[in-house]
Amino acid sequence: MEVKYFNYQSVSSTNNMALERLAEIRNPNTAIVVTASVQEKGQGRNNKIWFSGKNNLYYSFGIKHSNEILPMQIMQVIGGLAVYKLLSGIIEEHNFRLKYPNDIYAKNANETNNFKKISGIKSEHIFMQNDICSSIIGIGINNKQKDFPAELNAISLTNLNINIENNCLMRRLTEIILELIVMKKEDILKIWKEKLRLEDKIIKIIDNEKSGLIEGDFHFKKVLEDCRLLVIDDNGKEHIIDNGDSVRYDLW
Same domain for 112 and 232, yes or no, is: no
Same domain for 107 and 216, yes or no, is: no
Total domains, the chain: 2
The set of long-range contacts for 206-214, using a CB threshold of 8 Å and a minimum separation of 24, is: 206/246, 206/247, 206/248, 207/46, 207/245, 207/246, 208/245, 209/46, 209/244, 209/245, 210/46, 210/242, 210/243, 210/244, 210/245, 211/239, 211/240, 211/241, 211/242, 211/244, 211/245, 213/239, 213/241, 213/245
Pairwise CA distance, residues 35 & 6, whole Å: 6
Same domain for 192 and 234, yes or no, is: no
Q: Model's pTM, two decimal places?
A: 0.88
Same domain for 210 and 190, yes or no, is: no
CATH number of domain containing 75: 3.30.930.10
Counting Cα atoms < 13 Å in the Cβ hemisphere of 93 gives 6
Same domain for 58 and 108, yes or no, is: yes
Contact 56, 145 (CB under 8 A): yes
DSSP state at residue 221: E
Same domain for 155 and 239, yes or no, is: no
Contact 177, 164 (CB under 8 A): no
Q: What is the pLDDT of residue 102?
A: 86
Same domain for 68 and 94, yes or no, is: yes
Amino acid at site 214: I
Q: Which residues contact 163 (CB under 8 A, 6 or more apart)?
A: 157
Q: What is the pLDDT of residue 208?
A: 60
Q: What are φ and ψ of residue 224, in 5° steps?
A: -80, 165
**Could you say which of 196, 213, 237 is where a domain stops?**
196
pLDDT in tens, the chain (252 residues): 899 999 998 888 899 999 999 888 888 789 999 999 888 765 554 455 455 677 899 999 999 888 777 888 898 899 999 999 999 999 988 899 999 988 999 998 887 778 999 999 999 988 877 777 889 999 999 999 999 888 888 999 999 999 999 999 999 999 999 999 999 999 999 999 999 999 999 998 876 655 565 667 899 999 998 899 999 999 999 989 887 667 889 998
Same domain for 176 and 72, yes or no, is: yes
Same domain for 169 and 215, yes or no, is: no
Same domain for 131 and 175, yes or no, is: yes
Same domain for 189 and 144, yes or no, is: yes
Pairwise CA distance, residues 246 & 214, whole Å: 12
**Could you say which of 174, 196, 218 is where a domain stops?**
196
**Domain range holding 234?**
202-248
200 class by beta-carbon count within 10 Å (0-12 exposed, 13-18 middle, 19+ buried): exposed
Same domain for 143 and 240, yes or no, is: no
Q: Do the bridges between strand 103-106 and strand 96-99 make them parallel or antiparallel, or are there none, so unpaired?
A: antiparallel
